[in-house]
Amino acid sequence: MTDLGDPGLYEQGIPHDLFAALRRDDPVHWNPESDGPGYWAILRHADIVHVSRNPGIFSSAHEHGGHRIFNENEVGLTGAGEAAVGIPFISRDPPIHTRYRKFIMPALAPVRLDGIESRIEERAEALLAKMPMGQAIDIVPLLSGPLPLLTLAELLGVAPETWEKLYHWTNAFVGEDDPEFRTSSEAMAAIMGEFFAFSQELFEARRAEPGGDIASLLANAEIDGRPVPFADFVANLILVLVGGNETTRNSISHSIINFAANPDQWDALRAEPDLMKTAPAEMVRHATPVIHMRRTATTDTEIGGVRIAAGDKVVMFYSSGNRDEAVFDDPDRFDIARKGPVHVGFGAGQHVCVGSRLAEMQLRVVFRLLARRVTAFQVEDRPRRFRSNFINGLKSVHMTMVA
């Protein structure tokens, strides 16, 4: 039986045919584990939304194992066993989770983001200006990687050039199953040491002189009248960096591949700029940068008529839900004019991504600029993928922009 948690399953691409067969025949699928108790794989869109909207029954809390297939209360947030990292708010249930979201929202409010779209455009223009037309280039380090991290640098209030370190660190955080990102335990310890030093300096600076940036809000948050400890600040900083980077980065990369494979869609976008209003949602749906999220049942319940026992792990496969034939017409087709049901690429319910609108804004900006100068994309070789069951990530995409 295929183990849906095997990182090797995703090395050549998302197994959409397998997911489709399971949605048809076994949509609430019991997946045994060689090193664990097993879990329920949730494959249908409606069931994913149901689980997401019922945090009282399906917990993402750290004490129940957290938000990943592995138990983060046993092996750490990034699967590296780092004891000094605290609990991120994605691994909290309401009401604490809700309080954390309220702390962050002011940094993403319209008044705080006033003018950010023009600044994103300026940064994207600068990146594109360095990318030659008609020559094979790797889009990931030149555009997909730096753009969202430059945006995050602004939101955190750190120097723009910090993006290169953030890029290196976030790859290591999500790459626990990729030998290129986790070369050894000693190398990972060194990376965590660098990140802790960066976080400590940032934490102390924002405690001393708080501002309106996300780092200040996280450093000065209080839960039940008590200041958030440094360890939790570190965990939430990792969450912000991974969440704010990986979704946008990989949506850009996958969408360029999709436009290369579907030139009619690129021609349509260039001819009808108004399609940019719906295109980002389709880019995220089709790419689905986050493959899974996990919950744990807190009581006996049912999903799709299948009995779930208290304590069972429940893993929602967003990559399957976003290709559900019962929800999306011709779901494997990349259609930037698609309207209708909301995808689960940003999650759903209490844990829906707080930065989803900012991610879509960046997609609108970068593809609007590309549409002005590029008539077609050509992918030159097979993109290199993350070895991961969590992030549908691309390490490199060698492509040519045709003027």
Question: Bridge partners of 148?
Answer: none
End-to-end alpha-carbon separation of the chain, Å?
A: 48
* Fold adopted by 7-75+89-402: Cytochrome p450 (1.10.630)
- Distance in angstroms (rounded) separating the CA atoms of residues 104 and 221: 9
Q: Is 196 exposed, middle or buried (0-12, 13-18, 19+ CB in 10 A)?
A: middle
| Model confidence at 84: pLDDT above 90 | no
Q: What is the pTM of this model?
A: 0.95
How far is residue 322 from each of residues 94, 189, 219, measured CA to CA in Å? 26, 36, 35
Please give the structure tokens belonging to residue 313: 């792990």
Please give the structure tokens belonging to residue 125: 């223009």
pLDDT in tens, 148-192: 999 999 999 999 999 999 999 999 998 889 999 988 889 888 999
- Distance in angstroms (rounded) separating the CA atoms of residues 368 and 73: 43
pLDDT in tens, 250-281: 999 999 999 999 999 999 999 999 999 889 99
Categorize the per-residue pLDDT at 135 as very low, low, confident or very high, splitting at 50, 70 and 90: very high
Q: Residue 79: left (phi > 0), alpha (psi -120 to 50), or beta?
A: left
- Distance in angstroms (rounded) separating the CA atoms of residues 229 and 84: 11
Picking from 360, 285, 359, the residue whose alpha carbon sits closest to that of residue 327 is 285
**Helix (H), strand (E), coil (C) string for 62-79:** HHHCCCCCCCHHHHCCCC
Categorize the per-residue pLDDT at 113 as very low, low, confident or very high, splitting at 50, 70 and 90: confident
Predicted local confidence at residue 77, as pLDDT: 65
Task: Kindly state the percentage of the chain with pLDDT values over 90.
Answer: 80
- In degrees and rounded to multiples of 5, residue 319 shows phi and psi of -60, -30
| Model confidence at 81: pLDDT above 80 | no
Predicted local confidence at residue 103, as pLDDT: 79
- Distance in angstroms (rounded) separating the CA atoms of residues 270 and 266: 6
> Letter for the amino acid at 329?
D
